[in-house]
Amino acid sequence: MSYHLPVLGKECVEALVLKKDGVYVDATFGGGGHSRLILKELGDKGRLLGFDKDEDALQNIPEDARFIFNPHNFRYLKRFLRLHEVEAVDGILADLGVSSHQLDQAERGFSFRYDADLDMRMNRQDGRKASDLLNTYSTQELQRVFSEYGEVRNAKSLAQRIVQERSARVVKKTGEFLTMIEPLIRGFRNRYMAQVFQALRIEVNDEIGALKVFLESTLEALKPGGRLVILSYHSIEDRLVKNFLKTGNFEGKVVQDAFGNIEKSFRRINKKIILPSQEEIRKNPRARSAKLRIGERI
């Protein structure tokens, strides 16, 4: 399977694994690249719990007694830690990017490079597809999705075009969708389409909602001194992660106690984001937009 190379693998593992016999979480297992690097650093008593709701990830589970796989979204982190009788962990890693495998599988509908069903579900057992949204959402709902999750400049015109055109035909395939919106594409075509498809994917999978639940759950899941290591790939996610690590909320609002002391949940290990080197980007072009942020639970 063509999963992407683990982005900033060395940097992630060095930031995460501070105790050889600790308990860690790979919240976005995917192809297992980061998990394998973590397992190399763990001692015999170390444990690693992996999470991924994509059924294709099952084929990448390492044969290692120290590894426990949970075929579920990372938003259920606390529930499954309790199931495995883990009170708190020493570190949590999340790589929020879409895997190369998902992008390269035409039938998954994640990429505009292939004429396939507009699916985009991370878990294909979930109900609604991207085509369902395009055929049922109102103009206002579509505008919100494209504006908030894709930062598409002409989100209103795009939404109006979709609603107008779908009255004559149901949209099911990528090619049909591209033909429908071709007159509205602005600037660089690939960049524009990447923004549109990103917005649909985020909405289909409730990625922002899941990320918020996950981040809040780390407050209980991490031991004091435990590390939260997050790779993000677009400004929407990165803003949430940055604000959460800095202030403990998603708005970035500084909260003070009765004595004027600033309340903090994390100590930021790197106030300046860590980016992939040009060498890594050359070897793995999909790493180019990655941003790494690290926090230590107070």
Could you read off the pLDDT of 112-141 as tens digits, one per residue? 888 889 999 988 877 799 999 999 999 999
In this structure, what token pair is assigned to residue 238? 């990165």
Q: What is the mean pLDDT of residues 65-82?
A: 97
Q: What tens digit of pLDDT does each residue of 177-228 get?
A: 999 999 999 889 999 999 999 999 999 999 999 999 999 999 999 999 999 9
CA atoms within 13 A on the CB side of 195: 20
Q: Are 204 and 121 in contact (CB under 8 A)?
A: yes
On the question of pLDDT at 2 being above 50, the answer is: no
Q: What is the pLDDT of residue 109?
A: 66
Q: What tens digit of pLDDT does each residue of 43-62 get?
A: 999 999 999 998 888 999 99
Q: Are 219 and 298 in contact (CB under 8 A)?
A: no
Distances (CA, A) of 114 to 110, 131, 135: 9, 15, 20
Q: What is the pLDDT of residue 89?
A: 98
Q: Which residues contact 263 (CB under 8 A, 6 or more apart)?
A: 248, 255, 256, 257
For the chain, list the domains and their CATH numbers: 9-100+207-297 (3.40.50.150), 101-205 (1.10.150.170)
Q: Which residues contact 227 (CB under 8 A, 6 or more apart)?
A: 15, 16, 18, 90, 91, 92, 269, 294, 295, 296, 297
The radius of gyration of the chain from alpha carbons, rounded to an integer in Å, stands at 20
Q: What is the pLDDT of residue 260?
A: 86
Give dist(CA 196, CA 181) in Å, integer.
Answer: 10
Give dist(CA 12, CA 209) in Å, integer.
Answer: 24
Q: What tens digit of pLDDT does each residue of 134-182 get?
A: 999 999 999 999 999 999 999 999 999 999 999 999 999 999 999 999 9
Q: What is the pLDDT of residue 126?
A: 78
On the question of pLDDT at 101 being above 70, the answer is: no
On the question of pLDDT at 39 being above 60, the answer is: yes
Q: Give every strand in the sheet of 67-70, ordered side by side.
A: 67-70, 47-51, 23-26, 89-95, 222-232, 291-297, 266-268
Residue 289: band (very low, low, confident or very high) from pLDDT cuts 50, 70, 90: very high
Q: What is the pLDDT of residue 107?
A: 62
Q: Are 57 and 31 in contact (CB under 8 A)?
A: yes
